[in-house]
Structure 1
Amino acid sequence: MNTFIFAVRMLAALTLAALAAPFVWQFATGDYYMTVTGESMRPTYEVGDVLVVQEPTGNELTTPGAIVVVAFTPGDKSTQYVHRVLEPSADGAILKGDNNDTPDPNPITEDQVMGTPRLVLAGDAAVVYRATQHPLIRFPLAAVALILLVVPLRRRRKETDTTAAVTSPADLTDSVKA
């Protein structure tokens, strides 16, 4: 196999692996992905960063300085945000964004905790992740990668001989009879 074909197939395989990785990770760990949409946690997280959020363990609000993902309505990802524990209390905690001057007005309870960030995809990694999650990019990219992986990539050689090539004994007998 020549170097070009090997490189194309390797790129196709890596593309498929990269497209599958978030699903495999989510299935194996139970984590989910959250895109940062506000500036309250700057400079820790920038708008557009993607957080890989792991499931809560039940003690996220006990450590001052711990970063937590919480939701106004328990379990509702549409109202989730990420802040830092400022003051733990017996029934929850007061949170504050790193870029905010004042703490959050209402305390958070443990049932509002969605989890904690395990990893952050920032910069180009976040841009690539978000782009590849859109179906109009994801499916055509996967289709092209699959095609490049399975379709034979050979250069066709032009025949320089103008005479018909004999390919089987039947062809040979037909040419002898003629």
Structure 2
Amino acid sequence: MRLLSIGRWLLIAVLAAVLAAPVLLTALTAQHTLEVTGGSMAPTYQRGDLVIIDPARIAEIGAGDVVTVRRTDGVLYTHRVTSISPNGVITTRGDANPVADTPTVTRADIAGVVTIHVPQPWAGMVTASQSLPGRISLALVLSGLIFLPTAQRTWTQQTSPTSRKGVRHT
């Protein structure tokens, strides 16, 4: 019984932390949460995963870093930096793409550097928690886990003088 209670509270704590951490991180810092919508970064990132980007780290970009680029039409995409020329031209490529991206970009085109990756299924829960219906649903699930009764079993002694065996009551 006690083990079930500890397990339930541990599950609640893990779910709450997974749901709250990305939301709090982005609310308290300049970082942003983005959903992966394409397959160009597979197998590193899958569709539906979340990445958290940090705009403050743009000055520290190097080859191998994963960055989110803002195209001239405002669309964002996340790819890996393959090289940086001495004059500051940055070449990127999706991990699943056979060739580098064209056109190349500069630091001014970069929205941020990926700092955290949240894979599925956790990403789905985080995404759901960012809408009102999702928050309500997740609050109901967590409340259900908290208030769900556990079966309590007690052992008592029979009062019959002929039997002294313990009887289990459920």
TM-score normalised by the chain length of structure 2: 0.67
- 1:71 alignment partner in structure 2: 70
Check if 1:142 corresponds to 2:142: no
Partners of 1:51 and 1:120 within 8 A in 2: yes
Aligned to 1:131: 128
- The SS at the match of 1:95 is strand
Structure 1 unaligned runs (5+)?
Answer: 154-178
Letter in 2 for 1:83: H
Q: Distance in 1 between matches of 2:47 and 2:37?
A: 5
Distance 2:11 2:39 in 1: 37
Other structure's SS at 1:26 match = helix
Check whether the contact 1:19–1:142 (CA below 8 A) recurs between aligned residues: no
CA contact (8 A) 2:67 2:114 kept: yes
Give the equivalent residue in structure 1 for 2:36.
36
> Cα deviations across residues 5-59 of structure 1 (Å, max 9, x unaligned)?
x77x958974666554333211333211111111111111111111111223333
Q: Does 2:83 match 1:87?
A: yes
Deviation at 1:99, TM superposition (A): 0.8
CA contact (8 A) 1:60 1:66 kept: no
Asked whether the 8 Å contact 2:52–2:114 carries over to 1, the reply is yes
**1:99 correspondence with 2:63:** no
Cα 1:125/1:18, change in 2 over 3 Å: closer
Q: 1:126 to 1:141 in 2, by over 3 A?
A: closer
Paired residues for 1:3-82 under 5 Å: 10=9, 14=13, 19-61=19-61, 63-73=62-72, 76=74, 79-82=75-78
Structure number with the higher strand fraction is 2
Q: Return the letter of the residue paired with 1:37.
A: T
Render the CA deviation track for 1:50-79: whole Å, top value 9, x for unaligned.
111122333354x222211111039x4xx1
Q: Distance in 2 between matches of 1:98 and 1:49?
A: 15
CA contact (8 A) 1:12 1:145 kept: no
1:117 is the counterpart of 2:102? no
Identity %: 29
Task: Return the index of the structure with the highest Cα Rg.
Answer: 1
RMSD: 3.3
Range with greater deviation from structure 2 (47-56 or 23-32): 23-32
Change in CA separation of 1:25 and 1:34 when aligned onto 2, cut-off 3 Å: same
* CA distance, structure 1, for counterparts of residue 117 and residue 25 of structure 2: 14
Q: Are the structure 2 counterparts of residues 112 and 141 from structure 1 closer, same or farther at C-alpha, using a change threshold of 3 Å?
A: same
